[in-house]
Amino acid sequence: MPVTSDMSLLSLITQASLPVQLIMLMLLGISIMSWTYIFAKRFALRKATTQTRRFEDDFWSGGDLSMLQQAVASRRAEQGALARIFDAGMTEFLKARRSTPNDPVAVLDGPRRAMRAAYQREMDVLESHLNFLASAGSVSPYIGLLGTVWGIMHAFMGLSNMQQATLAAVAPGIAEALIATAIGLFAAIPAVVAYNRFTNDIDRISIRFDAFVDEFLNILQRQVR
């Protein structure tokens, strides 16, 4: 690192050693991907919550379940995750009641398994990209620390070519190293905060799905008695 009086952020980044620049570029890519997933997941969870609330209002309004199922089946993509879980259970219930009308256990077992399978598919969609946010939050500080170690090592190695070591000689290299740490933290902190927030939101939605499945099965059980 040459001695320079220009200690601006841009100058320190452009004059950093190649390994540190590569580490900064990697962290920048991680940060961009993290923010992309954060905005996309925030929108998806908000939409899922709204669709769940709307379907619960329709379901508990007291209308005919067969007509509700037909309405959901005609617009599955627009109805939301909970509506698709209901559609899977209701469709299987109607099939089982036609094929084995005298076997209440079989009539209820089919909808239970269908709704659990649909529930798992919907949860997999809601939980997508959370692993990346968790990894970005845990790994980014260490990647930045790697850049810090390399920058400091590079700065002190440069002192071997100087007859007199001064603070001005090592300051740019140390500043370069600290920038790598700062970028690592900048990539990690939003990812960790978003992961914790989204995990909590998904857990709340999951509880609502579980409660609906149990309540719907109770309704179906009363119909086959």
Q: For residue 136, give the nearest of 203, 184, 180 by alpha carbon.
A: 184
Q: Where are the chain's structural domains?
A: 9-62+130-224
> pTM of the entire structure?
0.81
Alpha-carbon span 92 to 67, nearest angstrom? 15
Q: What is the pLDDT of residues 198-211, one digit of tens each?
A: 999 999 999 999 99
Q: What is the pLDDT of residues 137-172, one digit of tens each?
A: 999 999 999 888 887 877 777 666 665 656 565 666
Alpha-carbon span 173 to 154, nearest angstrom? 7
DSSP tag of 160:
G
Cα diameter, the chain: 97
